[in-house]
Amino acid sequence: MALEIDRVTTDADMAAALGVRTRVFVDEQHVPIEEEVDRFDTASAEGVVHVLGRLDGEPVATARLLLETHGDGYPHIGRVAVLAEHRGRGYGRAVMEALHREARSRGVAGVTLAAQTHAIGFYEGLGYVARGPIYLDAGIEHRDMDLRLT
């Protein structure tokens, strides 16, 4: 079945994306809900693009792109989540590629992210290159990674 990916523009779609994230990050990975959700997680928030992937109408995958950069850094992709029972079928790759298209359409030179170390191979497969040391965030090991888009 094909995944349908759309940019989140309504409160209902935002709630669906947060439902996926809650199951993955809060229920599965035990990230506290107050660390998981922030001011960028509304349909009308400025400076962010959320995408939501649905299978036959059911929300199964999501990710977001924060457009504001820090200094000369790239925009930041985060909250990349696919429901456990739907992994390994290319849906994670598909939501990432949707955000890469969003970034390219804004003319940015690249994107960056903080990869959980278990997912480094997933991002490497998309062309990301690791940078700097491993560090802890929300009790989970991470490493920064960059993808050039130009």
Contacts to ligand COA by CB under 6 A: 24, 80-82, 87-93, 115-116, 118-119, 121-122, 125
Q: CA 29, CA 137: separation in Å to the nearest integer?
A: 12
Residue 110: CB minimum distance to ligand COA, A: 17
Looking at the Cβ atoms of 8 and 53, the one nearer to ligand COA is 53
Q: Is 50 helix (H, G, I), strand (E, B) or coil?
A: strand
Q: CA 60, CA 21: separation in Å to the nearest integer?
A: 9
Residue 118: CB minimum distance to ligand COA, A: 5
Looking at the Cβ atoms of 54 and 89, the one nearer to ligand COA is 89
Helix (H) or strand (E) holding 20: helix 11-21
Looking at the Cβ atoms of 43 and 55, the one nearer to ligand COA is 55
Residue 107: CB minimum distance to ligand COA, A: 25
- Assigned token pair, 148: 């050039």
Q: CA 150, CA 58: separation in Å to the nearest integer?
A: 34
Q: Which residue is nearest to ligand COA (CB)?
A: 92
Looking at the Cβ atoms of 129 and 150, the one nearer to ligand COA is 129
* Three state DSSP letters for 120-143: HHHHHCCCCEEEEEEEEECCEEEE
